[in-house]
Amino acid sequence: MALDIIIPPAGDSITSANIGEWHKQSGEYVTKGEVIVTLETDKVAHEIEAEASGALEILVAEGEEKEIGAVIGKIDTSVEGANAAPAASPAAPEPTSSEVSEDSDTTEVEYSASCGNKIKVTPLARKIAAASGVDLAQVKGSGPGGRIVKTDVEQSQNSPAASTPAAAPVPAVESTAAPAPLAEAPKRTTRKKMSMLRRRIAEHLVNAQKTAAILSTFNEVDMTAVMKLRKELQPDFVEKYGVKLGFMSFFVKAVAKALKEVPQINGRIDGNEIIENHFYDIGVAVGTEKGLVVPVVRDCDEKGFAEIEQDIIGYANKAKSGKLTVQDMQGGVFTISNGGVYGSLLSTPILSPPQSGILGMHTIQQRPVAIDGKVEIRPMMYLALSYDHRLVDGKEAVTFLLSIKNTLENPTRFLFDL
């Protein structure tokens, strides 16, 4: 009995998926519950487990895109583990992209009457053999059906026993050495298909620029008080909660407080109407090898610092392992992006529609600032707020940033909800 492997539904807005990686080869035996393939959609990547034990048959190769519900493989449940066909041997090298166009079609060449045999050889391999004087009758083919390919001829050139001098007339000084193959020029460019996640990010960013009137405003915050408080509380915080007290939880709490004070930023435009949110689910941008993802920390106004840190670490681990779900990234009202972890000094983040605001954090840098008429060296961070100017005016944007600045420079205000 053959059991179909089908691309499952992944969300209302997702219509297709990309075959990211097969974890088993065709013909190998798989056991029920074993991860056999990773699918990539335009939002997340998720793993598909075998629903039964049997021999795997792959129908769709890695990198191909198929619609939801498409059959991408089968599992033959009648095959026992010991009877499964072995995986294809990797001994024979696959032709590179530069060889495929000329080294793919089979041509049969008839040799001398004494031989009377026909040898399968590709056009490119025959051309190289003719130029270098290699006797194809002495070359063993490694291609499909024993076909001689370019690699076989080149290897034969390096083997004196397998090659003979060319039969063509030679000049006065005869040389039996085959000419060295020409070195291939290094590739100046490469071309690869965009991942579905990267395509989605590109479309999302372009749409944001088209649909919103994005404007940015800036301020800076003195991180002295936060850094001092964090250093004092870190040992007890780690001992009690099992996670480190990071800067992000301070910013998440400060943003939640500022959203309450400036409700225009906690809203969005829907046609000719304004929808104002009364909850505080904040997205925290996380960079991965495949692109930027923004999981959402729920009810940030009600959670403590430890809960927020635990949520962020949990999302970061899921993002690295490719196990974030669509639900993890939906429903945010505001986003925080921390370019400072990569050394960014200042940037203008792009909105994530339908949200009306995004805060950019940046690297902490020791800079001279005026404090009570004196110049002091302080750890300073630039803040950037990008917002939809259709809904948020400059006054609200500046007020929002000043609220965050005042809260972080006086973190004891958290204790009294000031």
pLDDT tens-digit profile of 75-111?
Answer: 888 877 655 555 444 444 444 434 434 444 444 444 4
Q: What is the pLDDT of residue 409?
A: 96
Active site residues: 389, 393
Q: Any idea what the CATH number is for the domain that residue 33 is in?
A: 2.40.50.100
Are residues 385 and 305 part of one domain?
yes
Range of the domain at 142: 97-162
Cα–Cα nearest to 51, from 1, 107, 102: 1
Domain count, the chain: 3
Are residues 338 and 289 part of one domain?
yes
Are residues 209 and 143 part of one domain?
no
Cα–Cα nearest to 325, from 46, 5, 29, 38: 46
Q: What is the pLDDT of residue 253?
A: 96
Residue type, 125: A
Q: What pTM, to 2 d.p., does this model score? A: 0.63
Cis (ω within 30 of 0) for the bond into 354?
A: yes
Residues of the chain with pLDDT under 70: 10-13, 42-44, 81-118, 123, 143-145, 158-183, 290, 416-418
Q: Any idea what the CATH number is for the domain that residue 139 is in?
A: 4.10.320.10
Characterize 307-327 residue by residue with b for buried, 16 or more Cβ atoms within 10 angstroms of its Cβ, and e for exposed.
bbbbbbeebbebbeebebebe
Q: Which residues pair with 18 in a beta bridge?
A: 40, 65
Rounded CA-CA distance 217/394 in Å is 8
Are residues 8 and 138 part of one domain?
no
Q: Is residue 176 part of a domain?
A: no
Are residues 155 and 35 part of one domain?
no
Are residues 240 and 366 part of one domain?
yes
Are 286 and 315 in contact, with CB atoms under 8 Å apart? Answer: yes
Are residues 103 and 74 part of one domain?
no
The structure tokens listed for 357 are 């605001």
Characterize 196-228 residue by residue with b for buried, 16 or more Cβ atoms within 10 angstroms of its Cβ, and e for exposed.
bbeebbeebeeebeeebebbbbebbbbbbebee
Are residues 66 and 12 part of one domain?
yes
Q: In 10 A of CB 397, how many CB atoms?
A: 22
Are residues 108 and 226 part of one domain?
no
**Percentage of the residues of the chain whose pLDDT score is greater than 90:** 40
Are residues 228 and 137 part of one domain?
no
Q: How would you class 395 by CB atoms within 10 Å of its CB: exposed for 0-12, middle for 13-18, buried for 19 or more?
A: exposed
* Residue in the block written with tokens 């070359």: 139
